């Protein structure tokens, strides 16, 4: 992390389920290659860096908090190389269109579809749902 504890620079050994309370920025490639990382909760994250989850083949849930204002900015290729299966992105109920509109994608994206400006290639099927 950075000195103020608000930016995750890298966590190459992350696995299982993690919650990053107080982290507003996920750095470029922060979780790259964390193939045992299954679930990430980001209560206040506002920026997700380039390739942040590249190669996270076990990632199946990503949750953004109700305190994320207004919604996180995703850099390019955030989920590149996550492979097959599905990834559900949980967002506050009623804000789904804000996320899809800002990210330039639909609420359901087929596996492997290349949205290089957002998700990258070779990614899981992605669904954005409210909670």
Q: From residue 106, give the alpha-carbon distance in Å to each of 34, 109, 119, 126.
A: 26, 6, 12, 9
pLDDT band at 35; cut points 50, 70, 90: very high
Sheet strands (E) in the chain: 7-8, 16-19, 25-26, 37-42, 47-48, 61-64, 73-74, 86-91, 108-109, 125-130
- Asked whether residue 1 is assigned to any structural domain, the reply reads no
- Asked whether residue 82 is assigned to any structural domain, the reply reads yes
Alpha helices, DSSP H, located in the chain: 96-103
Mean per-residue pLDDT, 65-80: 81
- Asked whether residue 79 is assigned to any structural domain, the reply reads yes
- Asked whether residue 44 is assigned to any structural domain, the reply reads yes
- Asked whether residue 59 is assigned to any structural domain, the reply reads yes
- Asked whether residue 84 is assigned to any structural domain, the reply reads yes
- Asked whether residue 2 is assigned to any structural domain, the reply reads no
Q: Domain span at residue 35? A: 7-130
- Asked whether residue 27 is assigned to any structural domain, the reply reads yes
pTM: 0.89
What pLDDT sits at residue 15? 98
Mean per-residue pLDDT, 74-91: 89
Number of domains present in the structure of the chain = 1
């Amino acid at each position: 992390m950075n000195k103020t504890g608000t930016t995750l620079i890298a966590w190459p050994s992350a696995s299982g389920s993690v919650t990053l309370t107080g982290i507003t920025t996920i750095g470029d490639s922060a979780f790259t290659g964390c193939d045992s990382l299954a679930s990430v909760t980001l209560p206040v994250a506002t920026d997700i860096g380039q390739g942040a989850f590249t190669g996270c083949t076990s990632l199946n849930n990503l949750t953004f908090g109700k305190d994320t204002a207004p919604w996180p900015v995703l850099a390019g290729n955030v989920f590149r190389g996550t492979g097959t299966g599905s990834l559900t992105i949980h967002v506050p109920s009623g804000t789904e269109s804000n996320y899809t509109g800002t990210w330039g994608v639909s609420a359901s994206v087929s596996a492997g579809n290349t949205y290089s400006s957002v998700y990258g290639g070779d990614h899981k099927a992605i669904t954005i749902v409210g909670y």
